[in-house]
Chain A
Amino acid sequence: EAQVTQNPRYLITVTGKKLTVTCSQNMNHEYMSWYRQDPGLGLRQIYYSMNVEVTDKGDVPEGYKVSRKEKRNFPLILESPSPNQTSLYFCASSLDSHRSYEQYFGPGTRLTVT
C-alpha cells in the first residue's frame, strides 16, 4: 500500500530533551515536507526537501532540523524542544517538486512539550 508513515504518533516530552520524529514514504517520491498544524493557523511549512541531500527552510524553521540521506526518509529533529513547539506535525511527500503535484500526508504526530 502506498503510504507515508510517521513515528511516533503521540509524544509527550520535557523541555530540552532532544527528539526525532521519523517519516518514511514508499512511493519513490522526490519531494518531502514537514508541516505543523496549529488551531486557527492552518498548516505552516517547517522544512522541505526536493531530493536526496537537498533541503531548504519553510516558513517556520527555527528550532528544527532535518536531513535527507535516503530518498524514502525525512526525519524531523528537535534538538532542544520548547513548549511553543507543542503542535500536530505532518510529513508529506509528492512525486515531484513541480508545483502541480498534489501531496500525500502521513497520519500526524501529536507532540506535547512540558
Chain B
Amino acid sequence: AQSVAQPEDQVNVAEGNPLTVKCTYSVSGNPYLFWYVQYPNRGLQFLLKYITGDNLVKGSYGFEAEFNKSQTSFHLKKPSALVSDSALYFCAVSLDSNYQLIWGAGTKLIIKP
C-alpha cells in the first residue's frame, strides 16, 4: 500500500538549534513531495515542494528539504529554529496516477526558548 510516514509525533528543539522533521514515503512511480505547516487554529500553509531537479529544495520561512530517492525520504530542515516555528508539520506525496495527495499523520514541532 502506498503511504507516507512521519515517524515522530513530536520533536522538541531549543531555539537557535538546527531542526529536522522526518518524512519517508512508500509509493510507486515518481513522487511529487510537499511540506505544509499548520499554526494553531489556522488552516494549512504550503511550505515547499519537490517536483524534479535539485534534490535540495528551499521554501518559506527559511525551511528547506532534501529529497533522497534511495532512502525514499524528504526530511524538512532549518539551520536555526525560532520559537515561532512551533506548529504542526505535514508531509504529503502526490502520485503519478491520480490527483490526490497522500498525507502523513503530522509532527508537532515545539521550539523552546
Chain A residues within CB distance 8 Å of chain B: 4, 31, 40-45, 48, 50, 58-59, 90, 92, 97-100, 102-108
Contacts and interface: CB of A to CB of B under 8 A. Distances in A.
Contacts of B96: 99
Given A99-B32, A103-B44, A103-B101, 5 more contacts: A48-B99, A99-B98, A100-B32, A100-B51, A105-B36
Nearest to B6: A42
Interface residues of B, number: 25
B99 A99 contact: yes
A104 to B, nearest CB: 7
Contacts, number: 57
The 5 closest A-B pairs by CB, nearest first: A105-B43, A99-B94, A102-B46, A42-B103, A42-B105
A103 B92 CA distance: 11
Contacts of B41: 107-108
Contacts of A107: 41-43
